[in-house]
Amino acid sequence: MLTACFLFAGNNKISPCDEVVINAFGEIFTFSKNRNELQRYKDLVLINSFKDDGLGSKLSLEDPLKPVSEDPDMIHILDMGTRTIITWDRFLNLHAITSLHQTIISPSAFVVTSEHDWLIYDDHREQILQIHSGESYPLSWGNKNYSFGIELFSVQHRVLIHQKYKNILSFSDENGKTLSNHALPDSLKIERIFPLNLNEIVILSSDGLFLWKLPQKSLRYLSNIKNVIHVDNFSTSSLRVITRDGAINYLP
């Protein structure tokens, strides 16, 4: 049985994109990899955009990851190809282009903690590294090495580590101490996860969207919406789901 989705009145579509991040002001930032374009929406209206030739000379992004929001008003993108982190303010003024320290060989995951530290996973070391705000030298973070293929998320003053090839979620404090580990349901072929809070994760799989409640280990089917790139809590009673073609759906 399919779960119905519904749309609120007004504009419910943005430009097609590959990644979405929403900041503390509720503004939507989208990133298109084929155009290397970052866009900012307020109340679903496009306010401004930044392309990689916005300064008259290209930033030459080669292999960018998804944008990361640093509250209250910064947006970062880690480019794996050039080993740089590009930073904008929320109005998409270019703030900084930071080359990673030479000891970080193969960066493949990135997040900013609520303490404004950068966490970067290095495939070469199989380790998460920490760069304190205003510094450049990376320090080892956490109490273990992680095998290839992880994602990093900042969730309510915690760091969530998704070990994709082991189907494991690990919550750590911002100093790297592991607080809990959770196995994801092995009945699903998981393509992507979208953390909602410390207890609820939306899972995108080949069988559709599912809500996974960690304490109860309960799985609830949500929808068969395709090409999902973002899910968040729109309100206490609905989820906002954004797809690659820019459609915005709301699930009860």
- Residues 172, 199: one domain? no
- Residues 196, 184: one domain? no
In a domain, 235, yes or no: yes
In a domain, 221, yes or no: yes
The mean pLDDT of 94-108, rounded to a whole number, is: 95
CATH code, domain with 158: 2.120.10.30
Cα dihedral 34, 49, 30, 112 sign: positive
72 has pLDDT over 90 = no
**Measured distance CA(107)–CA(188) in Å, rounded:** 28
- Residues 178, 211: one domain? no
Q: What is the pLDDT, as a whole number, of residue 222? A: 97
In a domain, 2, yes or no: no
**Measured distance CA(2)–CA(176) in Å, rounded:** 40
The mean pLDDT of 235-251, rounded to a whole number, is: 95
Domain that holds residue 39: 19-188
7 has pLDDT over 80 = no
Q: Which residues of 27-56 are buried (b: 16+ CB within 10 A; e: fewer)?
A: bbbbbbeeebbbbbbeeeeeeebbebebee
The mean pLDDT of 135-164, rounded to a whole number, is: 92
Q: What's the pTM?
A: 0.91
**Measured distance CA(14)–CA(33) in Å, rounded:** 16
In a domain, 11, yes or no: no
Chain centre distance of CA 105 = 22
The mean pLDDT of 36-46, rounded to a whole number, is: 94
In a domain, 223, yes or no: yes
**Measured distance CA(62)–CA(46) in Å, rounded:** 25
| Residue (of 64, 56, 70, 68) closest to 37 by Cα position | 64
| Residue (of 77, 37, 41) closest to 54 by Cα position | 37
- Residues 50, 88: one domain? yes
In a domain, 226, yes or no: yes
**What's the number of domains the chain is made of?**
2
Share of the chain above pLDDT 90, in %: 81
- Residues 126, 62: one domain? yes
79 has pLDDT over 90 = yes
CATH code, domain with 229: 2.40.10
3 has pLDDT over 50 = no
Give 59's pLDDT tier (boundaries 50, 70, 90): low
Among 134, 154, 188, identify where a domain stops. 188
The mean pLDDT of 218-237, rounded to a whole number, is: 95
The residue among 53 and 28 whose pLDDT is bigger is 28
